Amino acid sequence: MGPTMRSLVLAELSKLRSLPEAAIAAVATVLLGSTIAAALAANDRNAYAGPVDAVLASVPFVQLGIILLGILSAAHEYAGGQIHTSLAAAPNRMRFLAAKSAAVALVVSFVSTLTVGAGLMVAAITRPSQSAMAASGGAVPSMLVGAVLYLALIGLLAFAVAILVRHLAPALVVMLVLVLIASPLVGAASEHARWLPDRAGGLLYLPDTDAVLSVATGAAVLLGWVVATWAAAAATFAARDA
Amino acid sequence: MRIGNYFLAEVGKSATLPAGWAGMAVALLGSLAITVLNAFAVRHAAVDGTPEMVAGTSAFEAGFAAMPIVGVVAAVVIGVTTIGSEYTADRAESGGARQITASLAAAPHRLSMFSAKALVVICFIVVAAAVAIPGNIALSQAIIGDVGTETVSTADAVGRSLGTTLYWVLMGLLAFSITALARSGVVPLIVLIANGSVVSFSLLLTLVTPLAHWLPDMAGRQLFGFPSELVVEGGLAPVPGAIVMAGWTVVMLVVSGIVFHRRDA
């Protein structure tokens, strides 16, 4: 008779709440997103027509903070020997990982929502008054929901990668290279770049359209990446020594 | 021969770090993959008579395209791991110690050790550049062969390769100094890798103020020598840009060296 699922999730949330690096990463993400959205909205070159566009344009930067948050949530268990204590308290590894994943999903969704909401607020305040609220340049508010969903899924992907490689720096480099480096370079050379997680998921919040993927299938591709990486992480986590 | 011994010791440490080799491998294999993709796209376009499908049919450009971005990642990873590894805490049950305390006990002259580490960063990046840049260009030429039209003269190609190597070295040293100051690689990894990509904080700042063109990564970017129609306009010319970037690097190295010398490890 082990601990209940509810208490496991609460325990994981408590760990994340009391982890200074995670708190700093969360606050920094919100501040970074708000600053960039405000700067883009206030920019008089008019490349960003309305507050919604400014927030959406800040998402590629915000994802860096969310990725760090997802990785920290997993990597801190391995920074010392905490994983041994955690598994002594919750010996069923699959339940432990499921609870941890649920906690991380809650936290990254919360921080993503907060960042997008705060960004929208400051963008609406700093936007030059002469441009009308209606001129939102083709971006519709429902894309904001897509942006939150995209950020949450990218955060979970980062978490799964970190569980797989068990160290902060390599997980960070893998995610940053995947999202920042591979995507534009492969995109310039091959149309198959659309299957990369950030490209497929980008359809959730970018005005671009794709010849093969729609918003829903793009989101499904990103979800597929998350599920596949998580499954690989779960299989190795169950099989190997902690 | 104290400096020599310090240097050899640091070479040994860095060469036995898996993270450094992983970074190097990612950079080399990644640029290889991009070059193969690019070169075959160029070759097909040239053979099919549809050169308008690609930016140009130059074998040099096809092989060089990945260099600025992928190489900068390798340089940043090398710079960060060389000093960041010293500050990584061991597992709690084996004492939770950091390597830096053992290193300084064995090699107490801090400035010599710091200089030796910076020298190791330079050497590793120059070796990576010497393998990656000519290697990718040769691969691209082998794939494209005679069907493309070379638009870059040999003198330009050599100049741009050397400029790119200089940019990598300066970027690696910047990453090294920031990591030494922060005693953690997280911030330099995120900021410098992001700045090397299209999601660049510096590029974003240039929208707010033209002064951002004087930031190190923006100042040096003309060293890659891409045709002006392919890059964001504005900014400094290659030589003044390189001087500004080198100036930043020297200042950061001096500041982090002083801090490394004076502060408790």
Check residue B107 and give its pLDDT: 85
Mean local confidence (pLDDT), B25-54? 80
pLDDT at A48 over 80: no
Check residue A132 and give its pLDDT: 47
Check residue A61 and give its pLDDT: 92
B71-92 pLDDT per residue, tens: 888 899 999 999 988 888 776 6
More confident residue, B155 or A95: A95
- The contact set of B with A (CB < 8 A) is 19, 22-23, 26, 30, 34, 37-38, 41, 65-66, 69-70, 73, 77, 80-81, 84, 89, 91-93, 96, 185-186, 189-190, 193-194, 196-199, 201, 204, 207-208
The three-class DSSP label of residue B98 is: strand
Shortest Cα distance, chain A CAs vs residue B88, angstroms = 9
pTM of the model: 0.86
pLDDT at B40 over 90: no
B100-111 pLDDT per residue, tens: 888 888 888 899
pLDDT at A121 over 80: yes
The three-class DSSP label of residue B89 is: strand
Chain B partners within 8 Å of A40 (Cβ): 204, 207
pLDDT at B20 over 70: yes
Confidence of residue A59 (pLDDT cuts 50, 70, 90): very high
Mean local confidence (pLDDT), A148-170? 93
- Which residue is listed with tokens 């998350």? A226
Q: Which of A113-117, A208-212, B157-161 has the highest mean pLDDT?
A: A113-117
pLDDT at B94 over 60: yes
Confidence of residue B201 (pLDDT cuts 50, 70, 90): confident
Nearest CA in chain A to B200: A61
Check residue B264 and give its pLDDT: 83
Shortest Cα distance, chain A CAs vs residue B169, angstroms = 19
The three-class DSSP label of residue B234 is: coil
Alpha helices in chain A, H assignment, sequence order = 5-17, 20-42, 51-79, 82-89, 93-126, 142-165, 168-176, 183-189, 197-202, 215-239
Distance from C-alpha of A73 to C-alpha of A158, rounded to nearest angstrom: 10
The verdict on A169 touching B (C-beta cutoff 8 Å) is yes
B interface mutation test: which of A180, A198, A206 has the most B CBs within 10 A?
A: A180
Check residue A119 and give its pLDDT: 93
Mean local confidence (pLDDT), B43-57? 73
Which residues have C-beta within 8 Å of that of residue B178, sequence separation ≥ 6? B187, B188, B191, B192, B252, B256
Confidence of residue A45 (pLDDT cuts 50, 70, 90): low
Chain A partners within 8 Å of B202 (Cβ): none
Is the separation of the CB atoms in B128 and B74 below 8 Å? yes
Q: Considering CB atoms only, which of B66, B77, B199 is closest to A185?
A: B66
Shortest Cα distance, chain A CAs vs residue B1, angstroms = 35
Partner residues linked to B98 by β-bridges: B89
pLDDT at A225 over 70: yes
Chain A partners within 8 Å of B73 (Cβ): 173, 176-177, 181
Taking CB atoms and an 8 Å limit, are B93 and A81 in contact across chains? yes
Chain B partners within 8 Å of A182 (Cβ): 30
